[in-house]
Structure 1
Amino acid sequence: MKRLQIKTAQNVNINFTLANVGQRLLAFVVDNILKFAYFYFAVHFLNFGMFEGIGRLDGWSIKALDIIIFLPITFYSLYTEVLLDGQTIGKKIMQLKVIDIDGFKPSITDFVIRWFLRIIDFNLFILLFIYIASLGLPNQEAWFFLLFFFGKMVGFFLILFTNNNQRFGDIIANTVVIYIKDDVKFSETILEELSAKYVPTYPGVIKLSDNDARIIKNTFQSARKFNDYKTLIKLRSKIQEVTEIKSVHKSDKEFIDTVLKDYNFYTQDM
């Protein structure tokens, strides 16, 4: 498997295992099975004509209500990745996760970009077919099959041949998909000694992921060792940006050390 090596400001190397095209394909299949299951349920168990008897709804209103029913399919990958910390249900089963190219949790904007650009990675055939259909060419069924295959495979070919196994949406959003079942457990690298009477200060640290905590700890240890105050300031700013917490400590060292301890406090029993 390919590995992504991230080098911190103090030249500390952190390695992530990149998800390969087979793993991402299986996650994609699982997600689509769930979407098709929802579609089947909606079509066969919901009466789409039930809205016709409601008041004086016109045809457009009924169509709008029908569209609302299918919104969970349309936005599936977006809201699951946002709510499940970079994972769809398929990715969770396959133990894959979306992170940004620096190893941190992507922003909501990054997730939106990845979702929107699926139209190029997996649904390009729809746009191409609409254009071909407008030309009135013969054998449009053959064109449709060819465009369907090509349009659905754009993302997979990019994952297969790019250095960091990125589809177009990943490249633009600066994200990668990693395999999180590694030989070394994250808890072995981010564990902090806590007393039984420890009282946490920053509940907002739960917005961090294990990957975030590992990067923070490695960078913090190196910066503290060499008294690199510039890196400590940048690290504090990044933590505050991701967690949206405000420091009550005067020292950057005390703040970051407390953040790591608080993260362990809130996650050690999860």
Structure 2
Amino acid sequence: MQKIEINTTQNVSIEFEAALLRDRILAFIIDFLIMGGASIILSIIISIAFTSAAEYLYYLFIVPIIFFYSLAFETLNHGQSPGKRVMDLKVVKLNGAEPRSSDYVLRWAFRMIDIYLSFGVLAAIFIGSSNKNQRLGDMAAETTIIKIKPAKALRLNDIININSIDNYKPVFPEVKKLSESNMLLIKNVIERYKAFPNQAHREAMRMLVSKVKEEINVDQGSSRDIDFLQTLIKDYVVLTR
């Protein structure tokens, strides 16, 4: 899976999973079907209920749906159209900032060249050849599309193997206050830090430790952040199995 490294305005490097061309195409197809379905249903309603003004109402309601569908959803839904949401994709800025309305407008303006006039061939070529999986609209707006959920799902049973718990005494029994999803998040943070031990993941771990300590009201003592989190995972498995 291709990774995209984004340098934030604080000069912190964060790594994301790049959206596959296949996923972007599927998201586009889903959006096209939704947009087409809504247009057809609205056309039928207009033709039946407003026969005399049908042509005027088509231009008033249906044309804006077709032209502004992606722009409206991405702007109002933080970089996600319904198709992108289904495929767990999101538009992000390469500098780590939140995309502005002007960025979404710029991406949308290039859709005519990238997708419609070239039947998507131009977009596919640029996405496939770009280091950050960008079509022309992304390059102009300095954006790209990432996968917001990991490709491989984790299960709690995969977290840790403890052969014997008879002689193990949990260090932080308060960990039972946390949920299974909390523990999976902790596991993900640990794994990402081990795979990419950069400043961004170190900071993410530090923030997670601070949040967990506040949530369950414990003191990690002199243990390192990663040791503290690994102990929490072990305690949780022992106390909940």
What TM-score, normalized to structure 2? 0.60
Deviation at 1:176, TM superposition (A): 0.5
Q: Is the 8 Å Cα contact of residues 28 and 83 (structure 2) preserved in structure 1?
A: yes
Counterpart for residue 5 of structure 1:
5
Determine the C-alpha separation between the residues in 2 that align with 1:152 and 1:10. Answer: 36
Equivalent of 1:176, from 144, 165, 169? 144
| Match 2:101 to one of 100, 108, 122 | 108
Work out which of the residue numbers 141, 155, 178 in structure 1 matches 2:123: 155
Q: Partners of 1:45 and 1:77 in 2: how far apart?
A: 23
| Matched length | 163
1:123 corresponds in structure 2 to 116
Matches within 5 A, 1:61-140: 63-70=55-62, 71-124=64-117
Aligned-partner Cα distance in 1 for 2:4–2:58 = 44
CA RMSD of aligned residues (A): 2.7
Alignment of 1:235-254 (within 5 A): none
Q: Which amino acid aligns with 1:65?
A: L
The structural deviation recorded for 1:19 is 0.4
Deviation at 1:185, TM superposition (A): 4.4
**Alpha-carbon distance in structure 2 between the residues aligned to 1:13 and 1:87:** 23
* Distance verdict in 2 for CA 1:94–1:166, change over 3 Å: same
Q: Deviations over 1:219-253 (max 9, x none)?
A: xxxxxxxxxxxxxxxxxxxxxxxxxxxxxxxxxxx
Contact 2:107–2:137 (Cα < 8 Å) also in 1: yes
Match of 2:119, SS? helix
Task: Give the share of equivalent positions with the same residue, in percent.
Answer: 33
Shift in Å, 1:51: 5.4
1:65 and 1:46, CA in 2 relative to 1: closer, same or farther beyond 3 A? closer
Q: Partner amino acid for 2:137? A: G
The SS at the match of 1:176 is: strand
In 2: Cα distance, 1:81 partner to 1:73 partner: 14
- Unpaired segments ≥5 residues, structure 1: 55-61, 125-149, 197-270
By how many angstroms is 1:152 displaced?
3.1
Contact 2:9/2:97 (CA < 8 Å) preserved in 1?
no
Cα distance between partner residues in 2 of 1:11 and 1:107: 20
Q: CA deviation at 1:63?
A: 4.1
TM-score (norm 1): 0.54
Q: Is the 8 A contact 2:7 2:96 kept in 1?
A: no
Change (3 A) 1:42 1:21: same
Tell me if the contact between 2:138 and 2:144 (Cα under 8 Å) persists in the aligned partners.
yes
Q: Is there any run of 5+ residues in structure 2 with no aligned partner, and where?
A: 153-183, 190-203, 216-241
Note if contact 2:27-2:87 (Cα within 8 Å) is conserved in structure 1: yes
* Deviation digits for residues 201-226 of structure 1 (CA, Å, limit 9, x no counterpart): xxxxxxxxxxxxxxxxxxxxxxxxxx
Amino acid at match of 2:82: I
The Cα shift of 1:74 comes to 1.5
Partner secondary structure for residue 4 of structure 1: strand
1:237: which partner in 2?
none
Deviation at 1:81, TM superposition (A): 0.5
- Rate the CA distance shift 1:26–1:103 in 2: closer, same or farther, 3 A: same
Q: Which residue is 1:17 aligned to?
A: 17
- Shift in Å, 1:13: 2.7
Conserved in 2, the CA contact under 8 Å of 1:100 and 1:175?
yes
